[in-house]
Structure 1
Amino acid sequence: MNPDFTKYADGLMPAVVQDVNSGKVLMLGFMNQEALDQTRTEGKVCFFSRSKQRLWTKGETSGNFLLMKDILLDCDQDTLLIKAVPVGPVCHTGADTCFEEANPSFSLQQLENIITDRLANPDESSYTTKLFQKGINKVAQKVGEEAVELVIESKDDNKELFLGEAADLLYHYLILLQAKQFKLDDVLRVLAARHKEKQRGT
Protein backbone atom coordinates (compact mmCIF):
# COMPACT_ATOMS: atom_id res chain seq x y z
CA MET A 1 0.00 0.00 0.00
CA ASN A 2 1.51 3.30 -1.13
CA PRO A 3 -0.77 6.23 -0.27
CA ASP A 4 0.13 9.36 -2.22
CA PHE A 5 0.10 12.14 0.36
CA THR A 6 1.69 14.51 -2.18
CA LYS A 7 -1.68 14.91 -3.93
CA TYR A 8 -2.70 17.29 -1.15
CA ALA A 9 -1.00 20.61 -0.46
CA ASP A 10 -1.11 20.06 3.30
CA GLY A 11 -0.12 16.39 3.00
CA LEU A 12 -3.33 15.31 4.74
CA MET A 13 -5.34 12.46 3.23
CA PRO A 14 -9.03 11.78 3.97
CA ALA A 15 -9.52 8.70 6.12
CA VAL A 16 -13.01 7.19 6.33
CA VAL A 17 -13.56 5.05 9.43
CA GLN A 18 -15.98 2.12 9.16
CA ASP A 19 -17.18 -0.26 11.86
CA VAL A 20 -15.64 -3.61 10.91
CA ASN A 21 -18.65 -5.52 12.26
CA SER A 22 -21.71 -3.45 11.33
CA GLY A 23 -20.33 -1.76 8.20
CA LYS A 24 -21.55 1.64 9.43
CA VAL A 25 -19.46 4.67 8.51
CA LEU A 26 -18.36 6.14 11.84
CA MET A 27 -16.49 9.32 10.99
CA LEU A 28 -14.13 11.11 8.62
CA GLY A 29 -10.68 12.26 9.67
CA PHE A 30 -7.39 13.20 8.06
CA MET A 31 -4.05 11.43 8.18
CA ASN A 32 -0.51 12.23 7.19
CA GLN A 33 2.17 9.56 6.91
CA GLU A 34 3.06 9.89 10.60
CA ALA A 35 -0.55 9.39 11.71
CA LEU A 36 -0.85 6.34 9.47
CA ASP A 37 2.37 4.87 10.84
CA GLN A 38 1.26 5.43 14.45
CA THR A 39 -2.12 3.83 13.73
CA ARG A 40 -0.39 0.73 12.37
CA THR A 41 2.08 0.58 15.27
CA GLU A 42 -0.30 1.18 18.18
CA GLY A 43 -3.49 -0.34 16.75
CA LYS A 44 -5.53 2.72 17.70
CA VAL A 45 -6.72 5.07 14.97
CA CYS A 46 -4.66 8.25 14.96
CA PHE A 47 -5.35 11.35 12.88
CA PHE A 48 -3.66 14.65 12.29
CA SER A 49 -5.86 17.27 13.93
CA ARG A 50 -6.17 20.35 11.75
CA SER A 51 -7.42 22.41 14.70
CA LYS A 52 -4.71 21.27 17.15
CA GLN A 53 -2.04 21.02 14.45
CA ARG A 54 -0.70 17.79 15.90
CA LEU A 55 -1.22 14.04 15.91
CA TRP A 56 -4.44 13.12 17.69
CA THR A 57 -5.44 9.61 18.73
CA LYS A 58 -9.22 9.29 18.68
CA GLY A 59 -10.31 8.70 22.28
CA GLU A 60 -7.15 10.02 23.94
CA THR A 61 -9.34 12.18 26.20
CA SER A 62 -12.68 10.34 26.28
CA GLY A 63 -11.34 6.79 26.21
CA ASN A 64 -13.57 6.04 23.21
CA PHE A 65 -10.80 4.66 21.05
CA LEU A 66 -11.11 3.20 17.56
CA LEU A 67 -9.28 -0.13 17.48
CA MET A 68 -7.84 -0.59 14.01
CA LYS A 69 -8.49 -3.92 12.30
CA ASP A 70 -7.65 -3.19 8.66
CA ILE A 71 -6.55 -0.35 6.39
CA LEU A 72 -7.48 -0.13 2.72
CA LEU A 73 -6.42 2.33 0.04
CA ASP A 74 -8.71 3.44 -2.79
CA CYS A 75 -7.91 2.99 -6.48
CA ASP A 76 -6.50 6.53 -6.82
CA GLN A 77 -4.25 6.04 -3.79
CA ASP A 78 -5.54 9.22 -2.20
CA THR A 79 -8.20 8.08 0.30
CA LEU A 80 -7.94 5.62 3.18
CA LEU A 81 -10.61 3.30 4.54
CA ILE A 82 -10.00 2.33 8.15
CA LYS A 83 -11.96 -0.64 9.46
CA ALA A 84 -12.13 -0.48 13.23
CA VAL A 85 -13.95 -1.52 16.38
CA PRO A 86 -15.29 1.50 18.30
CA VAL A 87 -14.89 1.56 22.08
CA GLY A 88 -17.93 3.63 23.00
CA PRO A 89 -19.63 6.46 21.07
CA VAL A 90 -17.60 7.92 18.22
CA CYS A 91 -19.00 11.44 17.92
CA HIS A 92 -18.13 14.18 20.44
CA THR A 93 -21.91 14.71 20.82
CA GLY A 94 -22.23 11.23 22.30
CA ALA A 95 -23.80 9.75 19.18
CA ASP A 96 -22.72 6.36 17.84
CA THR A 97 -21.45 7.95 14.63
CA CYS A 98 -20.66 11.46 13.39
CA PHE A 99 -23.56 11.10 10.95
CA GLU A 100 -26.17 10.62 13.69
CA GLU A 101 -26.77 6.99 12.80
CA ALA A 102 -27.34 4.29 15.37
CA ASN A 103 -24.60 1.69 15.27
CA PRO A 104 -25.70 -1.71 16.60
CA SER A 105 -23.45 -3.05 19.33
CA PHE A 106 -23.88 -6.59 18.02
CA SER A 107 -24.19 -7.85 14.46
CA LEU A 108 -24.42 -11.04 12.43
CA GLN A 109 -20.87 -10.42 11.25
CA GLN A 110 -19.67 -10.18 14.85
CA LEU A 111 -21.42 -13.44 15.73
CA GLU A 112 -19.81 -15.12 12.74
CA ASN A 113 -16.41 -13.80 13.83
CA ILE A 114 -16.93 -15.27 17.31
CA ILE A 115 -17.83 -18.65 15.82
CA THR A 116 -14.75 -18.47 13.57
CA ASP A 117 -12.58 -17.77 16.61
CA ARG A 118 -14.07 -20.70 18.51
CA LEU A 119 -13.18 -22.98 15.60
CA ALA A 120 -9.63 -21.64 15.32
CA ASN A 121 -9.05 -21.29 19.08
CA PRO A 122 -11.06 -23.96 20.93
CA ASP A 123 -12.35 -23.06 24.38
CA GLU A 124 -13.38 -26.14 26.35
CA SER A 125 -15.96 -24.12 28.30
CA SER A 126 -17.64 -22.93 25.09
CA TYR A 127 -20.81 -24.60 23.79
CA THR A 128 -19.73 -23.71 20.25
CA THR A 129 -16.38 -25.45 20.68
CA LYS A 130 -18.05 -28.54 22.14
CA LEU A 131 -20.47 -28.69 19.23
CA PHE A 132 -17.65 -28.43 16.69
CA GLN A 133 -15.83 -31.23 18.47
CA LYS A 134 -18.86 -33.54 18.11
CA GLY A 135 -18.51 -33.40 14.34
CA ILE A 136 -20.52 -32.44 11.30
CA ASN A 137 -23.30 -34.97 11.87
CA LYS A 138 -24.14 -33.52 15.28
CA VAL A 139 -23.96 -29.95 13.96
CA ALA A 140 -26.33 -30.81 11.09
CA GLN A 141 -28.65 -32.61 13.49
CA LYS A 142 -28.86 -29.52 15.70
CA VAL A 143 -29.79 -27.35 12.71
CA GLY A 144 -32.58 -29.80 11.87
CA GLU A 145 -33.85 -29.82 15.45
CA GLU A 146 -33.87 -26.03 15.67
CA ALA A 147 -35.68 -25.76 12.33
CA VAL A 148 -38.42 -28.09 13.55
CA GLU A 149 -38.75 -26.16 16.81
CA LEU A 150 -39.06 -22.89 14.88
CA VAL A 151 -41.82 -24.35 12.70
CA ILE A 152 -43.69 -25.50 15.80
CA GLU A 153 -43.43 -22.08 17.46
CA SER A 154 -44.55 -20.33 14.26
CA LYS A 155 -47.97 -21.97 14.69
CA ASP A 156 -48.50 -20.19 18.02
CA ASP A 157 -48.59 -16.52 18.97
CA ASN A 158 -45.79 -16.37 21.52
CA LYS A 159 -43.47 -13.73 20.07
CA GLU A 160 -40.61 -14.32 22.52
CA LEU A 161 -40.54 -18.08 21.99
CA PHE A 162 -40.71 -17.69 18.21
CA LEU A 163 -37.86 -15.16 18.12
CA GLY A 164 -35.84 -17.31 20.51
CA GLU A 165 -36.14 -20.32 18.23
CA ALA A 166 -35.35 -18.14 15.20
CA ALA A 167 -32.15 -16.98 16.95
CA ASP A 168 -31.23 -20.57 17.83
CA LEU A 169 -31.68 -21.69 14.22
CA LEU A 170 -29.62 -18.80 12.84
CA TYR A 171 -26.83 -19.44 15.35
CA HIS A 172 -26.62 -23.15 14.57
CA TYR A 173 -26.87 -22.46 10.83
CA LEU A 174 -23.77 -20.24 11.08
CA ILE A 175 -21.98 -23.03 12.94
CA LEU A 176 -22.91 -25.49 10.16
CA LEU A 177 -21.53 -23.11 7.53
CA GLN A 178 -18.25 -22.88 9.45
CA ALA A 179 -18.11 -26.65 9.89
CA LYS A 180 -18.39 -26.94 6.09
CA GLN A 181 -15.68 -24.24 5.70
CA PHE A 182 -18.06 -21.61 4.33
CA LYS A 183 -19.08 -18.13 5.41
CA LEU A 184 -22.35 -16.24 5.19
CA ASP A 185 -20.85 -14.20 2.33
CA ASP A 186 -20.63 -17.40 0.28
CA VAL A 187 -24.38 -17.88 0.65
CA LEU A 188 -25.04 -14.23 -0.13
CA ARG A 189 -23.08 -14.57 -3.37
CA VAL A 190 -25.38 -17.42 -4.44
CA LEU A 191 -28.44 -15.32 -3.63
CA ALA A 192 -26.97 -12.34 -5.49
CA ALA A 193 -26.34 -14.50 -8.57
CA ARG A 194 -29.92 -15.79 -8.46
CA HIS A 195 -31.22 -12.25 -8.15
CA LYS A 196 -29.15 -11.17 -11.14
CA GLU A 197 -30.49 -14.09 -13.19
CA LYS A 198 -34.05 -13.19 -12.22
CA GLN A 199 -33.52 -9.59 -13.36
CA ARG A 200 -32.34 -10.91 -16.72
CA GLY A 201 -35.50 -12.96 -16.95
CA THR A 202 -33.70 -16.30 -16.91
Structure 2
Amino acid sequence: MPHNSCCSRKSGAAEFYSNSAVNQYAPNKVIEPIRHDISLQFQQLSTKCFMGKTTLTFKHNGKALVSNARDLQEIRLNAVDFEDVKVSGEGLKQYHYSGHHILLVWDTCFNKEEERKVTIEYTVENPVAGVYFDKDDDMINATAQWAVTYCETEKARYWLPTVDFPTVRTSLTYSITAPKEYISLANGSLESTEVHGEMKTTKWKLDYPW
Protein backbone atom coordinates (compact mmCIF):
# COMPACT_ATOMS: atom_id res chain seq x y z
CA MET A 1 0.00 0.00 0.00
CA PRO A 2 1.44 3.44 -0.90
CA HIS A 3 2.47 5.67 1.97
CA ASN A 4 0.32 8.70 2.73
CA SER A 5 1.86 11.94 1.59
CA CYS A 6 1.17 15.64 1.52
CA CYS A 7 2.60 18.80 -0.03
CA SER A 8 4.00 21.78 1.79
CA ARG A 9 5.68 25.00 0.68
CA LYS A 10 7.79 25.17 3.82
CA SER A 11 10.80 22.94 4.23
CA GLY A 12 10.97 21.15 7.54
CA ALA A 13 7.17 21.05 7.84
CA ALA A 14 5.66 18.52 10.23
CA GLU A 15 5.27 14.99 8.90
CA PHE A 16 1.82 13.85 7.80
CA TYR A 17 1.78 10.90 10.23
CA SER A 18 1.71 11.09 14.02
CA ASN A 19 4.97 10.75 15.94
CA SER A 20 3.26 8.11 18.07
CA ALA A 21 2.25 5.95 15.08
CA VAL A 22 3.64 2.42 15.05
CA ASN A 23 4.21 0.05 12.14
CA GLN A 24 1.39 -2.42 11.49
CA TYR A 25 2.11 -5.82 9.92
CA ALA A 26 -0.06 -8.73 8.89
CA PRO A 27 0.13 -11.56 11.46
CA ASN A 28 2.48 -14.45 10.72
CA LYS A 29 0.04 -17.31 11.28
CA VAL A 30 1.03 -20.94 10.87
CA ILE A 31 -2.47 -21.95 11.98
CA GLU A 32 -5.14 -19.86 10.29
CA PRO A 33 -8.93 -19.91 10.00
CA ILE A 34 -10.15 -20.97 6.56
CA ARG A 35 -13.90 -21.24 7.20
CA HIS A 36 -16.58 -19.70 9.42
CA ASP A 37 -19.95 -21.38 9.96
CA ILE A 38 -21.85 -18.56 11.66
CA SER A 39 -25.19 -18.72 13.44
CA LEU A 40 -26.84 -15.53 14.73
CA GLN A 41 -30.12 -15.33 16.64
CA PHE A 42 -31.99 -12.06 17.17
CA GLN A 43 -35.02 -12.23 19.47
CA GLN A 44 -35.84 -8.51 19.55
CA LEU A 45 -33.77 -5.90 17.73
CA SER A 46 -34.79 -3.24 20.26
CA THR A 47 -32.62 -4.94 22.90
CA LYS A 48 -29.46 -4.55 20.75
CA CYS A 49 -28.53 -8.05 21.84
CA PHE A 50 -28.04 -11.33 19.98
CA MET A 51 -26.68 -14.82 20.53
CA GLY A 52 -23.86 -16.04 18.32
CA LYS A 53 -22.35 -19.40 17.54
CA THR A 54 -19.56 -20.02 15.08
CA THR A 55 -17.65 -23.12 14.11
CA LEU A 56 -14.20 -22.19 12.83
CA THR A 57 -12.13 -24.51 10.69
CA PHE A 58 -8.40 -24.00 11.25
CA LYS A 59 -5.61 -25.26 9.00
CA HIS A 60 -1.83 -25.49 9.10
CA ASN A 61 -1.07 -23.49 5.97
CA GLY A 62 2.41 -24.93 5.46
CA LYS A 63 3.68 -21.50 4.44
CA ALA A 64 4.25 -19.29 7.46
CA LEU A 65 7.54 -19.28 9.36
CA VAL A 66 7.52 -21.48 12.47
CA SER A 67 9.44 -19.70 15.23
CA ASN A 68 8.51 -22.00 18.15
CA ALA A 69 6.23 -24.89 19.11
CA ARG A 70 3.43 -22.53 20.15
CA ASP A 71 2.99 -21.49 16.52
CA LEU A 72 1.82 -25.07 15.86
CA GLN A 73 -0.38 -25.43 18.92
CA GLU A 74 -2.23 -22.20 19.60
CA ILE A 75 -3.95 -19.20 18.05
CA ARG A 76 -5.34 -15.96 19.44
CA LEU A 77 -8.70 -14.66 18.19
CA ASN A 78 -10.07 -11.14 18.47
CA ALA A 79 -13.32 -11.02 20.45
CA VAL A 80 -14.21 -7.82 22.32
CA ASP A 81 -16.70 -7.66 25.22
CA PHE A 82 -18.46 -10.96 24.59
CA GLU A 83 -20.58 -12.57 27.31
CA ASP A 84 -21.30 -16.20 28.25
CA VAL A 85 -18.39 -17.48 26.14
CA LYS A 86 -18.24 -21.27 25.70
CA VAL A 87 -15.60 -23.03 23.60
CA SER A 88 -15.34 -26.66 22.51
CA GLY A 89 -13.30 -28.58 19.98
CA GLU A 90 -11.69 -31.94 19.42
CA GLY A 91 -8.16 -32.03 20.85
CA LEU A 92 -8.56 -28.59 22.43
CA LYS A 93 -6.50 -28.53 25.63
CA GLN A 94 -7.68 -25.20 27.01
CA TYR A 95 -8.90 -21.74 26.16
CA HIS A 96 -8.73 -18.39 27.90
CA TYR A 97 -10.93 -15.35 27.27
CA SER A 98 -9.53 -12.01 28.41
CA GLY A 99 -12.43 -9.81 27.32
CA HIS A 100 -10.50 -8.85 24.19
CA HIS A 101 -8.99 -12.13 22.93
CA ILE A 102 -9.76 -15.84 22.99
CA LEU A 103 -6.59 -17.93 23.24
CA LEU A 104 -7.02 -21.47 21.91
CA VAL A 105 -4.46 -24.12 22.85
CA TRP A 106 -4.48 -27.69 21.47
CA ASP A 107 -3.06 -30.85 23.03
CA THR A 108 -0.81 -31.57 20.05
CA CYS A 109 0.84 -29.64 17.25
CA PHE A 110 -0.83 -29.31 13.85
CA ASN A 111 0.73 -31.22 10.98
CA LYS A 112 1.07 -29.52 7.60
CA GLU A 113 -2.30 -29.15 5.84
CA GLU A 114 -4.13 -30.58 8.89
CA GLU A 115 -7.56 -29.12 9.71
CA ARG A 116 -9.34 -28.88 13.06
CA LYS A 117 -12.68 -27.39 14.11
CA VAL A 118 -13.59 -25.28 17.16
CA THR A 119 -17.07 -24.10 18.12
CA ILE A 120 -17.55 -20.87 20.07
CA GLU A 121 -20.88 -19.80 21.60
CA TYR A 122 -21.36 -16.31 22.98
CA THR A 123 -23.70 -13.35 23.51
CA VAL A 124 -23.18 -9.78 22.32
CA GLU A 125 -25.04 -6.87 23.90
CA ASN A 126 -24.98 -3.28 22.66
CA PRO A 127 -21.61 -3.51 20.83
CA VAL A 128 -19.61 -0.30 20.37
CA ALA A 129 -18.93 -1.14 16.68
CA GLY A 130 -19.27 -3.89 14.11
CA VAL A 131 -23.06 -4.25 14.43
CA TYR A 132 -25.28 -1.19 14.14
CA PHE A 133 -28.91 -1.15 15.16
CA ASP A 134 -32.00 0.90 14.33
CA LYS A 135 -31.29 4.65 14.62
CA ASP A 136 -27.70 4.25 15.85
CA ASP A 137 -26.84 6.84 13.20
CA ASP A 138 -28.81 10.09 13.59
CA MET A 139 -28.30 10.81 9.89
CA ILE A 140 -30.49 7.84 8.97
CA ASN A 141 -34.19 8.60 9.35
CA ALA A 142 -35.24 4.96 9.72
CA THR A 143 -38.83 4.07 10.46
CA ALA A 144 -38.30 0.29 10.55
CA GLN A 145 -36.14 -1.67 12.94
CA TRP A 146 -32.92 -3.05 11.51
CA ALA A 147 -29.48 -4.41 12.37
CA VAL A 148 -26.50 -4.43 10.04
CA THR A 149 -22.88 -5.59 10.35
CA TYR A 150 -20.03 -3.40 9.15
CA CYS A 151 -16.59 -4.92 9.66
CA GLU A 152 -14.17 -2.60 7.85
CA THR A 153 -11.36 -2.47 8.67
CA GLU A 154 -11.02 -4.24 12.01
CA LYS A 155 -14.54 -4.15 13.50
CA ALA A 156 -15.54 -7.80 13.11
CA ARG A 157 -14.01 -8.41 16.54
CA TYR A 158 -17.00 -6.71 18.20
CA TRP A 159 -19.46 -9.37 17.04
CA LEU A 160 -17.51 -12.35 15.65
CA PRO A 161 -14.57 -14.27 17.16
CA THR A 162 -11.97 -14.21 14.40
CA VAL A 163 -8.47 -13.15 13.41
CA ASP A 164 -9.61 -9.63 12.66
CA PHE A 165 -7.08 -8.48 10.08
CA PRO A 166 -7.86 -7.52 6.44
CA THR A 167 -5.52 -10.13 4.93
CA VAL A 168 -7.10 -13.04 6.86
CA ARG A 169 -10.15 -14.18 4.88
CA THR A 170 -12.35 -17.27 5.02
CA SER A 171 -15.20 -18.94 3.21
CA LEU A 172 -18.37 -18.88 5.29
CA THR A 173 -21.95 -19.87 5.90
CA TYR A 174 -24.59 -17.87 7.74
CA SER A 175 -27.66 -19.04 9.63
CA ILE A 176 -29.71 -16.01 10.68
CA THR A 177 -32.72 -16.43 12.97
CA ALA A 178 -35.03 -13.47 13.60
CA PRO A 179 -38.74 -12.71 13.97
CA LYS A 180 -40.48 -13.90 10.81
CA GLU A 181 -41.61 -10.42 9.76
CA TYR A 182 -37.98 -9.40 9.19
CA ILE A 183 -35.99 -9.81 5.98
CA SER A 184 -32.49 -11.26 6.41
CA LEU A 185 -29.62 -10.83 3.94
CA ALA A 186 -26.04 -12.09 4.07
CA ASN A 187 -22.96 -12.68 1.93
CA GLY A 188 -23.26 -15.48 -0.60
CA SER A 189 -26.25 -17.31 -2.04
CA LEU A 190 -29.48 -18.15 -0.22
CA GLU A 191 -29.56 -21.87 0.57
CA SER A 192 -32.85 -22.20 2.49
CA THR A 193 -35.61 -20.43 4.42
CA GLU A 194 -37.49 -22.06 7.29
CA VAL A 195 -40.31 -20.60 9.40
CA HIS A 196 -40.77 -22.08 12.86
CA GLY A 197 -43.47 -20.46 14.97
CA GLU A 198 -42.84 -16.72 15.18
CA MET A 199 -39.24 -17.02 14.02
CA LYS A 200 -37.61 -17.45 10.61
CA THR A 201 -34.18 -18.87 9.77
CA THR A 202 -32.38 -18.15 6.51
CA LYS A 203 -29.16 -19.90 5.52
CA TRP A 204 -26.51 -18.47 3.22
CA LYS A 205 -23.28 -19.81 1.75
CA LEU A 206 -20.19 -18.10 0.34
CA ASP A 207 -17.41 -20.33 -1.00
CA TYR A 208 -15.14 -17.43 -1.96
CA PRO A 209 -12.88 -16.26 0.92
CA TRP A 210 -14.39 -13.16 2.55
Same fold (TM over 0.5): no
Give the TM-score category using the shorter length: under 0.3
- In our comparison, the structure showing a higher alpha carbon Rg is 1
The structure carrying a bigger helix percent of its residues is 1
Query: Which has the higher relative contact order, 1 or 2, with Cα contacts under 8 A spaced 6 or more apart?
Result: 2
**TM-score, normalisation: structure 1:** 0.22
The structure carrying a bigger strand percent of its residues is 2
